[in-house]
Structure 1
Amino acid sequence: MPWCADCEWNLDGYDPGRRAPEFGWAWVDRRTHRIATRLNRRQYAILVGRPLEPAGPGLAGMVTATAALLLVVGVLALAGLGCWLLFAYPFPNVAVVFGVALVGLAVSLRPRFGRLDADLEVLDPRRTPELHALVAEVAAAVGAPVPQVIGVDGSFNAYSTSVGLRRQRVLCLGLPLWGALDGAQRVALIGHELAHFVNGDVRRLLVTQPALTMLGNAADLFRPSPTGRPGGLLEMVGEALGRAVSWMLSRLLFGVHLLLVWTALRDSQRAEYLADELAARAAGSTGARDLLDVLLSGDSVTLVVRQASRGGQGPRQWRSEVARARAAAAGRMPLVRQLSVREHTSLFASHPPAGLRHRMLTARAPHEPTVTLDESRMARLDAELGRHFDRAARIVAWSG
């Protein structure tokens, strides 16, 4: 679907030929795309003219936290009522059945606080002192705490998260991405991920986790499941009524879950803009913008890394080939950024479109880098992860 590159006419149009359906009904997908586009542009217009500083959750985050508190209170009430029914009357009695059911329901709906990913290779600080020192240096530059766990995996990605009831901070660097980045882009990547520990991102806060998981779990719990063929008319009628009630309850819970997720993701997108700003303070605005372009060209960069890995080349050659590919594609990147504004717009998106993020960094006052990596330090970083890079290269080389 065409658009005007100068005035961006028709850029926000819904293009079903290049978008996977979200709800399955074209008119619903078109309407939600229009709503998401309007919200993205409004949020950008609000944030581009004001200082971006670390702060707590916004209005959407407060709504999410309030909903999470109410859900936890409701689960505790279920557990308390179930325990009371277990012991309120002499055994045996029918109240015990309801008590066990309520306690079981409360256990099923309890908040989940996450755990370390099974694919994460946790790095020993004694074996990777250079990487741990770099993370600590970038953390100081962005005003974020140092993660307790630093690890790597084989994905073209990176993430930071908090797991467990005590919210242990975790930083994961996907080696195919990490190896393809130059020094400024690596600093920007770490800065962006660490910024999520101080930018009020609702996806990483203990108080908001129940709102993002509990109702979804409840909808799954009540979703009707296939059963055996009933024996008689009464059983058929009873099963049909039970399935109808379960379906309606599941859809209701899932609908409220979607509303909470959409609300939380509005605040999450605000946090992404702030994370980009903090990354620019550590790596410089140019490094942060270049990182966004690499991520936006993820398929092409992955192909370059795969081809280099098949030739037995390591991260130094990955960076060289990626830099050459980016230079060849520099002329079309403004259009790619614009197209991302259309194709990456969704009510389910946790990140704003990369084109808007790049535009935000360009519109704001430029930053000079406060953390730099020279070639000797880059070589030491790569040497520390040598065996991990070898394993990642074997996986990447034959994964596509």
Structure 2
Amino acid sequence: MTASTALPSSACPRCAGSTVTTGLPRPWCPSCDWNLDQATPVLFGWRWVDRRLHRVAARLTDAQFAALAEGPLSPRTVTAARVTTLVAAAVLLAGVLAIAVLGVWLIFFDFFSLSTVLGAVLVGVAYLVRPRLGRMSDLAGKGIVLGPDRAPRLFALVERVATAVGAPLPQVLMIGYDLNAFTTAVGVRRTRVLCVGLPLWATLEPQERVALLGHELSHFVNGDVRRGPLTQVAETTLGRVAHLFGDDVPVGNGLVAYVTAVLTRALGRLVSGTARALQLLLVWTSLRDSQRAEYLADEMAARAAGTRAVVGLADYLVTRESIGTVIRREVRSGNGMSAWHAATRVARANLAANLPLLRRLTRQTEVSLYASHPPAGLRAEMLERRPGQAAAVTLTESEAAHIDDELAVHQKRVLRELAA
């Protein structure tokens, strides 16, 4: 989404209102949404299917927004999505365990025979699709792990924000390479990880940084069904099954080998397609709860940073594509964090007049059955419609500058990653 000046170009053929070209290559109408479908996300590549699925997703998103805007927002422990996901995970775990046990039994049932070979194959399949809970090594390429001794002011700020939102402290704090931030939990012990992209951190205003930390830390306590270990087991196990059985079996020489390969491919595609369909069903089931958790994370972040700062963060996300272009330009020029921040301030000021249109546009471009986040424009509107909150944690310009000094030592490495 590339923002441009909102200039009336012609009358809308549907409602006769003024059309604009903000954010899209062709004119569209903010009054009746004429021609806004040019921004419909592509899911399957069939236009009529994508449009139909987008309309379904839009209805679900709008209905959820309307239900939450005036009601209470609090973590929920029992929902249909959570129960469905937990049952699916339990069934998958039992299935993988059953395959492994059957494989071991066949190996020793009549050693050494055809059953031994079949048993070894089943054990191998169980090993390949075994549940995984992630490892710290999986995050090695996503950022730089910080220690409290190297960034004491940042760690102190994280602790203040965690206290304000009622969340546990992350056990690992990372500085990432991109315009993003995330939290996750890995391993059997569920080690809590917070990763904040340096380009994102450096280009936010001080109080918006508090909002960012508040939002991310809230994910440790906001009841997001997709962050539970069993949810990860269900989705990743089905994905591995689909990948494992989706590969084509090479065709050998001779009629028997050819027929065997054809039958094996057909069976593999059936298993792969079924696993993929079940995975999509689980994803679609859990996404409504996940989006609700995002709204709740914004609400909790407002306790720490104040509503105004969280709205500012949401509007930053509305314009993130344009800001990303600005940052890449500064990176190509070899400029660092202070230049990123200055250029972003100018870009945001230039885009301010178009924010209402850009917010509206996100309700088309960011709505999907696969979207784990509500549109950024709706997130800002949700905060504005709910009672405002004062900041419990304040970050001054001076304090923010001291934290930047702590992080500046990693600037060159981040620059290299961005340039690459």
What's the TM-score, normalizing by structure 2? 0.88
**Partner of residue 189, structure 1:** 212
Partner of 2:75: 54
* Residues 132-160 of structure 1: per-residue CA shift (max 9 Å, x gap): 01001100011100000001121111111
AA matched with 1:254: R
Q: 2:279 aligns with which of 243, 257, 272?
A: 257
**Which digits, 9 at most, give the CA deviation of each residue in 1:242-261, with x for residues without a partner?**
21222122111111111011
Deviation at 1:25, TM superposition (A): 1.8
Contact 2:158 2:169 (C-alpha < 8 Å) held by counterparts: yes
The partner residue of 1:5 within 8, 30, 53 is 30
Alpha-carbon displacement from aligned partner over 1:200-252 (angstroms, at most 9, x marks no partner)? 11222112211111111101111142524x32333323322221222122111
Is the Cα contact below 8 Å between 1:141 and 1:371 reproduced in 2?
yes
Count, aligned residues: 392
Q: CA deviation at 1:279?
A: 1.0
Equivalent position of 2:17 in the other structure: none
**1:147 corresponds to 2:170:** yes
**Aligned-pair CA distance for 1:311:** 5.2
| One-letter amino acid of the structure 2 residue matched with residue 60 of structure 1 | A
1:225–1:14 distance in 2 versus 1, CA, 3 Å: farther
1:57 Cα deviation after fit: 5.4
Q: Which runs of 5+ in 1 are unaligned?
A: none
CA RMSD of aligned residues (A): 2.0
Instruction: Tell whether the 8 Å contact from 2:41 to 2:50 is kept in structure 1 after alignment.
Output: no
Q: Distance in 1 between matches of 2:332 and 2:246?
A: 46
Aligned-partner Cα distance in 2 for 1:264–1:57: 12
Question: Does structure 1 retain, via aligned residues, the 8 Å contact 2:28–2:36?
Answer: no
| CA 1:63–1:2: 2 relative to 1, 3 Å | farther
Cα gap change, 1:141 to 1:55, in 2 (>3 Å): farther
Aligned-partner SS, 1:114:
coil
- Structure 1 range deviating more: 113-122 or 298-307: 298-307
- After superposition, the Cα gap between the structure-2 partners of 1:191 and 1:91, relative to the gap in structure 1 and judged at 3 Å, is same
**Rounded Cα–Cα distance in structure 2 between residues aligned with 1:309 and 1:324:** 16
Higher deviation after alignment, 313-322 or 379-388:
313-322
Gap change, CA 1:256 and 1:394, over 3 Å in 2: closer
Structure 1 range deviating more: 34-43 or 137-146: 34-43
Moved more, 134-143 or 367-376: 367-376
Instruction: Give unpaired runs (5+ residues) of structure 2.
Output: 1-25
- Report deviation, 1:299: 2.3
Higher mean displacement: 196-205 or 230-239? 230-239
Q: Aligned ranges for residues 27-106 of structure 1 at < 5 Å?
A: 27-56=48-77, 58-87=79-108, 89-106=109-126
Structure 1-normalised TM-score? 0.92
Partner in structure 2 of residue 113 of structure 1: 133
Contact 1:123/1:151, CA 8 A, preserved across alignment: yes
Larger deviation, residues 17-26 vs 260-269? 17-26
Letter in 2 for 1:291: L
Q: 2:314 aligns with which of 279, 292, 295?
A: 292
Contact map agreement 1:176 1:393 (CA 8 A) in 2:
no
1:202 to 200, 225, 232: 225
